[in-house]
Structure 1
Amino acid sequence: MADESSSWLIQRSRECLSVGDNDGADAWIFTATSLYPHSFPVQHEVLHTQMKAGQIAQAALQLANMLQRFNNKKELWQDVHSMLTAVSSEANDATSERWRYLFGALDSDVQQEMLRSCAEQCEDDVLSQCQLFIQLMKLFPGTVLEFGLETVKLLSRCSSHRLLCQKMLVNEALPLLLSSCHCQALLSRVPVDEIVFWLYKALFYCSQNCSECLISTAASDFMKTDLMSPTLTSPSTPRRSSIANRVKPENVLRDSWLMLLRLVQSIGLFLRWNIPSELCNSALLLSERVAVLKSLPKSHPAYFHVSFVLLLESLAKYRAALHMNSANESPLVMVSSIAESESQHGSEVQTLAVLGGTEGGKKVISDLFRCAVLCWDAVHSDKTLKTDFVNLRKKWSSADWEMIDSFEVDCWLYKRNFSQVVAYLQSLGEGDSLAATMARLKQASCLAKMGNLAKSCELAMSVLLSVLDEMHISVGDELPDSELADFTNSADVLLLPFDAVYVVPYCVAIAAEHYKSIAFEVERNDIALSHLMVLCQYDWPNMHQLFLQVMKRVKDNRGLIFESFFKYIRDIDMLEEMMWLSNTDTCQLCLLPSSSQRQRTVTRGVDKESKEELRDAFENQAKYAEDKFISTLYLFVQDTVRKP
């Protein structure tokens, strides 16, 4: 009968609340509490009524009282769990906000006891238990002495939810333990091997997730947590716990890697590694920290750990910079500049140029790449360091393997190890994907440096065809204006945007280098001369001098067979030069297709009809002199690459 009566009173209170009658609701609840002071349902309803009415101070007193009187009630602990979840979340709904206000209004002793009790109830769920321990230690740093070591051990040995446990270990539990004033006392209880094991766990986690470029830095900011005041009494001035607040994206990388360095430094301090304090100076740039690393002897006990962290940081930031660049433009591909073939390999390349983008963006990308190369060299500087690095790589995911492999190939190219680049890229096989096309361009640039210009030209022409196919070229099209680089006189290594604006001139330059290498040999080569003549039109008049060399060679050879002349040559200056040459008696020119009925070799004593036919062909071709060359280039590449 009492339960039915109390339920009826509770129902009347809820009805009043639903229509906004707070006074009526209070009256019915007061009646219920007077008649049934020991009823849990009544006291539980009082708590929720006070919360909904915004009576946070009263609700806090009610909850503290209920925790003493009804400590074994499941519904009460469900509310406590809901409150702690709201405190550690960023949900903006009204219920979550009310829970956060209520938690802030509780006395610190009550807060602490709630967290302890909830953690004890989760002993079968390691992840949830550690989350509560971490929440407790953030709010009450003195509890690190009791729970810090236990939390780290639980997370480092947890086999379920492995990724989440590693993340919590690296980003929260270890920093809390190592920043505690009780750190030395706690670590003295742990074998040195286990401490080093924790460090490797941290490195494993960061190496597995460096491709994401984002690691939560909640732990690095835990000492700055804006905790709610236990005396907060009104929701009119809301203050939220920042236990799980996320940092802004631009701060994530800097804080995360700095946090990891500080973790290495803290462990190193206990192990007496004597790590230079300036490595963890937040004011230092990455390049400045790399310079500090270079000053350490390779025998330094922390040399590998510091160089590995800096390598991960530089690789992650380098990849992020490339991603930001490709979001606005095209992906970048590293290639060698076009220069004379070299047979010497292995010497360091010191100059790197990034094409496209802003000047600031170019400098960031090139600086990050150089930092990554220096750190890569550091972890490969002796056999022991290299073995440690290989052991860590075994733990990486396939995505991170791809990132490291891609960087390693670029590193070989940067250091002129062209044969290694070619061998690796050839082992990947062929394909039609964007990555495969970019790999062919990289391979072409290396083969050119190795002196294999024929194969280099073949690959460059196939890349050129793929790029022009994607453009769906038609008559009248042209490439947009760009800062077309002088590929023969620029930096040793280029980071080239993989789009037509940059790839087309680069491939044309490679092809021109090949044809130049064979066009001016002792033996006459009309095909090479003809192809050079076609390519000279692409960058006219900058290639005018090369065209004059071609014409001189034609005169020295006393003729030229170029039956597709009128299919590909449209430049008015070239047409005039060749027309003048056709009217001399010194050269034998074959410029019309052999299928032409009246085709005759142009030479002294040629018949009148042949001369008129050739003159008509020149005059007709002059009509197309103003057309854009890109469509003619596309036709030439198609015929050259797809020629049976």
Structure 2
Amino acid sequence: MAGLGDCEFLVRRARELVKDDVCAARSWLITARTLYPQDFNIQYEMYSIERNAERTASAGRLLYDMFVNFPEQPVVWREIGVITAALRNDSQDKQTQFLRGLFETLPGRVQCEMLLKATEQCFNTLERAEMLLLLLRRFPETVVQHGVSLGETLLEAENMEDQESPVNCFRKLFVCDVLPLIINNLDVRLPASLLYKYLNKAAEFYINYVTRSPQAESQRQGTQDTPDLLSPTKRSSQKYIIEGLTEKSSQIVDPWERLFNILSVVGMRCEWQMDKGTRSFGDILHRMKDLCRYISNFENEAHAKYKNQVVYSTLLVFFKNVFQYISSIQPSLFQGPNTPSQVPIVLLEDASNVYSEVELAPGKHIHKRRKLAESREKTMSSDDEDLSGKGRSRHIVINKNDLTNPNEVLESFKIARECWDLLHSIESLDKEFSRVCLSWKTDTWLWLRIFLTDMIIYQGQQKKAITSLHHLAALQGPHSPTQQIIGQGTLEQQRPLIQLASCHFALGEYRLTCEKVLELMSCVVPPTQDVSKIREEPSKVKPKSRKGSDLKLLPCTSKALMPYCLQLMLACFKLRAFTDNRDDMALGHVIVLLQHDWPKGENLFLKAINKICQQGNFQYENFFNYVTNIDMLEEFAYLRTQEGGKIHLEILPNQGVLIKTSSTSLGLLQQEFLPVLQPSIATADRHHTVTRGITKGAKEDFRLAMERQVSRCAENLMIVLHHFCINEKMSLLQCLT
């Protein structure tokens, strides 16, 4: 101990005794403190012993003494920093709980003063904001003095840091933590203009938060060094963005509920016409419609506040329902990386009535009709009001199996449309809503553009929808963040393409329809299916198409979209095929396409047969390449017979096609099919075989071609039709020129 000063000696001696005799160590330090009351090392050693022994009361008193007597000591502020960090931490470990307990032993006045002093020691904006926020939460009376200034500081810091997105740490602290303290404290006097500014900031944050893409966010920011938003003091504020929100500890619970609570409080403070009790979105919208009905002049000084009520209430209901609708029809936009994928849905014009409206020529005999199996499809429809200026209802048909909540999806779509109409019904509302959308840059929101496109399609404004779809395609182009989410070449990526085809079809632009359909076919993978098994069960058709059911929601899958594309193509060629002018190419295309979903199109096929009979001949060289339907083959075989009219059919393929079958496959054909077909040839029965009568004077090559074609009846029809669309693209487009 030689060479040590008296104070140092006493402290060293106390440290030596701590391990064996804590009481003796305390005695030495009490003596030292009495002799040298202004020595910081002695008091800090006393505090360390009490803290290590987890004696909260005595440690708290000693901390208070150091705080009062030695405020300039860095060690004191380091200790206070550890304690305040524990106060901000949600951890329940033993050390954290002890530090909180230590702080609680201090008098309230001292706690407040200590937090204020600690705030002054912070030079980083986020650290200072978190420290001041801790003060506001523990001492609500300080909100009046520090609340608004803290909020403005965070908003200014957000601008200074030049954040790309409103979803950042500064806005998060302001909206989620500071703003509720400010607006719920009635002692804080705030002008209406400031309340509307804060409501705007909160709405922009929460809407962007719930609609952000976790995948795109992580790709934009990178996965390395991802901070936790709830403890932003760990790193520099420049790196503090919201990318850490994908972590469980950083999730914001019930963001929509928080936002509507802020709306309610702001409305109360701005003296809106508020209703008591919880109301549904439909009720809120109905209330806003009534308000617009009774208050026609929102520019009047007495009624100006109600304009903001209508705009913000309707706006939030609008975006909430748009989000619910889009999250159901294209969930990949909002799914996290570990969320099970769901099939996206696309809104299209209904083309299912393509098989209807068949008028047969009077007096013409169709040699047989097959009994159609009838069954009622499981469908939902939205029975909406008449469209403004259109005088008719638009229904949306959806298969119950495609969505788990079809009623909710259709209701969200309806409410969102009504909100949009209300916000554009009065010039002053339209102007304010447009101002908000401009400041939020909503034109870059892909999810909103998808809804607006669907709404325009619903309204029947097809030309406007086509323009919107081109904008939509640009938003999710090959270099957009969305492209990285859903993957290049997927059918979900082709949503604008199939909707463009649907819109061109509704406008009667059949060649453009066919172009888009054939372009989409390159992305379609024909569904694998056992056609033979499917043929065992008759196809099911609706006995009648719903009147007015002219829209449908279909899954973005090959299984759903390929049949729809085939329906569109059939509709495009049907009108050309059955005009007074002869067009065998179009008629042949129709016959190929009618194979899909057989026998729904049987009446239309019989009409085609009737036209061929009237013509007396028919030329279509692709017949044996793509027609594999046994009933159709039977009809064409019959046309060559005496009883069928001896119609001249130029449908044989090239000579090479006829001899392409190997001797082995031909032998199998003779073994499997001819024993079944020959008995029918010998009888007058014309109902179950394609070879009836054709051997009586028929050409051998036609007979061989027909026999070969029977062997293809078990092929996957969807693959055959897919090849038809891909291989005959030029022929199909030229036919519609």
The verdict on a shared fold, with TM-score over 0.5 as the criterion, is yes
Report the Cα offset of residue 305 of structure 1.
Answer: 2.1
Q: 1:444 to 1:285 in 2, by over 3 A?
A: same
CA-to-partner distance for each residue in 1:433-457, whole Å, 9 max, x for gaps? 4465211100111111112223213
8 Å contact 2:462–2:503 — kept in the other structure? Answer: yes
Q: Distance in 1 between matches of 2:26 and 2:698?
A: 115
Aligned to 1:620: 708
Q: Distance in 2 between matches of 1:357 and 1:314?
A: 22
CA-to-partner distance for each residue in 1:99-133, whole Å, 9 max, x for gaps? 334334544333322222222334x5444333333
1:458 and 2:463 aligned: no
Report the Cα offset of residue 262 of structure 1.
Answer: 1.9
Report the Cα offset of residue 61 of structure 1.
Answer: 3.4
1:175 and 2:174 aligned: no
1:102-141 pair list within 5 angstroms: 102-122=102-122, 124-141=123-140
CA-to-partner distance for each residue in 1:109-168, whole Å, 9 max, x for gaps? 33322222222334x544433333332222222222322333334344443356433333
Q: Distance in 1 between matches of 2:599 and 2:352?
A: 20
Report the Cα offset of residue 53 of structure 1.
Answer: 4.1
8 Å contact 1:337–1:493 — kept in the other structure? Answer: yes
1:289 and 2:302 aligned: no
Report the Cα offset of residue 589 of structure 1.
Answer: 0.6
Question: What SS is found at the alignment partner of 2:445?
Answer: helix
8 Å contact 1:474–1:631 — kept in the other structure? Answer: no
**Number of equivalenced pairs:** 583
Q: Distance in 2 between matches of 1:458 and 1:538?
A: 20
Report the Cα offset of residue 261 of structure 1.
Answer: 1.4
8 Å contact 1:478–1:629 — kept in the other structure? Answer: no
Aligned to 1:219: none
Q: 1:246 to 1:138 in 2, by over 3 A?
A: farther
Q: Distance in 2 between matches of 1:44 and 1:612?
A: 112
8 Å contact 1:211–1:399 — kept in the other structure? Answer: no
8 Å contact 2:144–2:187 — kept in the other structure? Answer: yes
1:502 and 2:560 aligned: yes
Q: Distance in 2 between matches of 1:422 and 1:59?
A: 73
Aligned to 1:332: 345
Aligned match for 2:603, one of 524, 536, 545:
545
Q: Distance in 2 between matches of 1:459 and 1:8?
A: 87
Q: Distance in 2 between matches of 1:160 and 1:442?
A: 43
8 Å contact 1:353–1:366 — kept in the other structure? Answer: no
Question: What SS is found at the alignment partner of 2:511?
Answer: helix
8 Å contact 2:618–2:648 — kept in the other structure? Answer: yes
Q: Distance in 2 between matches of 1:566 and 1:407?
A: 45
Deviates more, 1:325-334 or 1:23-32: 23-32
Amino acid at match of 2:259: W
CA-to-partner distance for each residue in 1:540-595, whole Å, 9 max, x for gaps? 23332222222222222222212122221112222222112222443111121244
Aligned to 1:20: none
Aligned match for 2:254, one of 252, 255, 267:
252
1:565 and 2:636 aligned: no
Amino acid at match of 1:368: S
Question: What SS is found at the alignment partner of 2:266?
Answer: helix
Aligned match for 1:320, one of 319, 327, 338:
327
Question: What SS is found at the alignment partner of 1:468?
Answer: coil
8 Å contact 1:334–1:442 — kept in the other structure? Answer: yes
Gaps of 5+ in 1: 17-22, 215-244, 600-605
1:154-173 pair list within 5 angstroms: 154-158=153-157, 159-161=159-161, 163-173=168-178
Question: What SS is found at the alignment partner of 1:560?
Answer: strand
Aligned to 1:635: 723
Report the Cα offset of residue 357 of structure 1.
Answer: 5.0
Q: Distance in 1 between matches of 2:255 and 2:521?
A: 38
Report the Cα offset of residue 195 of structure 1.
Answer: 4.4
8 Å contact 1:208–1:395 — kept in the other structure? Answer: no
Amino acid at match of 2:344: P
Q: 1:112 to 1:396 in 2, by over 3 A?
A: same
Aligned match for 2:579, one of 521, 526, 537:
521
Q: 1:613 to 1:293 in 2, by over 3 A?
A: same
1:467 and 2:524 aligned: yes
Q: Distance in 1 between matches of 2:129 and 2:570?
A: 65
1:420-435 pair list within 5 angstroms: 420-426=464-470, 428=473, 433-434=489-490
* TM-score, normalised relative to structure 1: 0.79
Aligned to 1:222: none
Amino acid at match of 2:415: C
CA-to-partner distance for each residue in 1:25-61, whole Å, 9 max, x for gaps? 6654654454356543454354455445443344333
Aligned to 2:274: 276
Question: What SS is found at the alignment partner of 1:295?
Answer: helix
Q: Distance in 1 between matches of 2:540 and 2:284?
A: 35
Deviates more, 1:514-523 or 1:301-310: 301-310
1:185-196 pair list within 5 angstroms: 186-187=189-190, 190=191, 192-196=192-196
Q: Distance in 2 between matches of 1:597 and 1:258?
A: 70
Q: 1:522 to 1:400 in 2, by over 3 A?
A: same
CA-to-partner distance for each residue in 1:160-209, whole Å, 9 max, x for gaps? 356433333333333222211314xx23xx5x544444444444444554
Amino acid at match of 1:35: A
1:197-596 pair list within 5 angstroms: 197-206=197-206, 208-209=208-209, 211-212=211-212, 252-269=254-271, 274-278=272-276, 281=277, 283-297=278-292, 299=298, 300-301=306-307, 302-324=309-331, 327-338=340-351, 347=390, 350-355=394-399, 357=401, 360-397=404-441, 400-426=444-470, 428=473, 433-434=489-490, 437-468=494-525, 489=546, 491-584=549-642, 585-595=645-655
Q: Distance in 2 between matches of 1:305 and 1:291?
A: 14
Amino acid at match of 1:586: K
8 Å contact 2:352–2:567 — kept in the other structure? Answer: no
8 Å contact 2:50–2:58 — kept in the other structure? Answer: yes
Question: What SS is found at the alignment partner of 1:416?
Answer: coil
Report the Cα offset of residue 509 of structure 1.
Answer: 1.2
Q: 1:45 to 1:362 in 2, by over 3 A?
A: farther
Gaps of 5+ in 2: 215-246, 299-305, 355-386, 479-487, 660-693
Amino acid at match of 2:178: A
Question: What SS is found at the alignment partner of 2:523?
Answer: helix
Q: Provide the aligned C-alpha RMSD in A.
A: 4.0
Q: 1:595 to 1:101 in 2, by over 3 A?
A: farther
Q: 1:478 to 1:394 in 2, by over 3 A?
A: farther
